[in-house]
């Protein structure tokens, strides 16, 4: 299980130490508050210490601790993978580097609109997953279908809560559509959404296509954030119909 950072220092009665940041000339108050939150966030501190590219790594760690989908040998697709923290976790848990003796060796494929710094054990491609034929490219790169499709994507913030909610739900629905095309039967789909009431259609879509659908807010997700994650397990095919069985991704089956 992933340990939850305590955010406490040793000595002096375990009193918490908080860094205060003064607003510099020319810097907005919002930027100062963001910087202060980052400096005092125990997950940010832990990510630096443990070599992860961001605190988001602990969200997928905590979700996998509970649902166990990143198993050795798993073939994993990470949509919108920048900066790469989720890929780093997937490489470790799917044994993509073959470091776990006697365990199956997995594959980790990351895709993103922007270039991403290389990650040992992961294959990274610059790709718009919304583009035509993206699912075929993913299957070709993987050499078959995926066991897990995951997404921590969020649309650029507009400053309007309702608009942002609709955008991220639409992005999650698009990610689910790709998952339907590339997942193995029994596979898992994990994605970020924002709580807000407009995700009923997404939930219904997932429930038709997966055996179980859970909505989770992992401990690493900030308490003041409206984000949550859907974890859909036991893929049954699009709308529960089984889907095609082109297991090698070459379009011949």
Q: Which residues are annotated as a binding site?
A: 84, 86, 112, 128, 152
Burial bucket for residue 42 (CB in 10 Å: 0-12, 13-18, 19+): middle
Whether the CB-CB separation of 67 and 188 falls below 8 Å is answered with yes
Contacts of 10 (CB under 8 A, 6+ apart): none
Q: Which of 8, 59, 100, 192 is catalytic?
A: 192
Q: Tell me the binding residues for S-adenosyl-L-methionine.
A: 84, 86, 112, 128, 152
CB atoms within 10 A of CB 86: 31
Please confirm, yes or no, whether 161 is among the known catalytic residues: no
The answer to whether residues 230 and 224 touch, using CB atoms and an 8 Å cutoff, is no
> For the chain, how big is the Rg over CA atoms in Å?
19
And the tokens for 184? 């193995």
Cis peptide bond upstream of 126, omega within 30: no
CB 103 within 8 A of CB 72: yes
What are the catalytic residues? 192
């Amino acid at each position: 299980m992933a340990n939850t950072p305590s955010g406490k220092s040793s000595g002096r009665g375990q009193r918490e130490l908080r860094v205060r940041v003064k607003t510099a000339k020319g810097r907005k108050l919002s930027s100062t508050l963001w910087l202060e939150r980052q400096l005092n966030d125990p997950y940010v501190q832990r990510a630096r210490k443990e070599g992860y590219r961001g605190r988001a790594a602990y969200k997928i760690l905590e979700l996998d601790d509970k649902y166990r989908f990143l198993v050795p040998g798993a073939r994993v697709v990470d949509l919108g993978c920048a900066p790469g923290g989720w890929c780093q976790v997937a490489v470790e848990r799917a044994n993509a580097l073959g470091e776990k003796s006697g365990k199956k060796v997995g594959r980790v494929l990351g895709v993103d609109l922007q270039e991403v710094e290389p990650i040992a054990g992961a294959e990274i491609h610059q790709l718009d997953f919304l583009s035509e034929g993206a699912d075929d490219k993913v299957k070709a790169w993987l050499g078959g279908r995926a066991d897990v499709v995951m997404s921590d994507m969020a649309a650029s913030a507009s400053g309007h809560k309702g608009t942002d909610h609709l955008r991220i739900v639409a992005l999650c629905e698009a990610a689910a559509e790709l998952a339907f095309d590339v997942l193995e039967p029994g596979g898992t789909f994990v994605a970020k959404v924002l709580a807000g009431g407009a995700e009923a259609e997404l939930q219904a879509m997932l429930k038709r296509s997966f055996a179980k659908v859970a909505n989770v807010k992992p401990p690493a997700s900030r308490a003041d954030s409206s984000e949550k994650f859907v974890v859909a397990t036991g893929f049954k095919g699009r709308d529960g119909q089984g889907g095609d069985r082109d297991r090698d991704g070459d379009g011949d089956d």
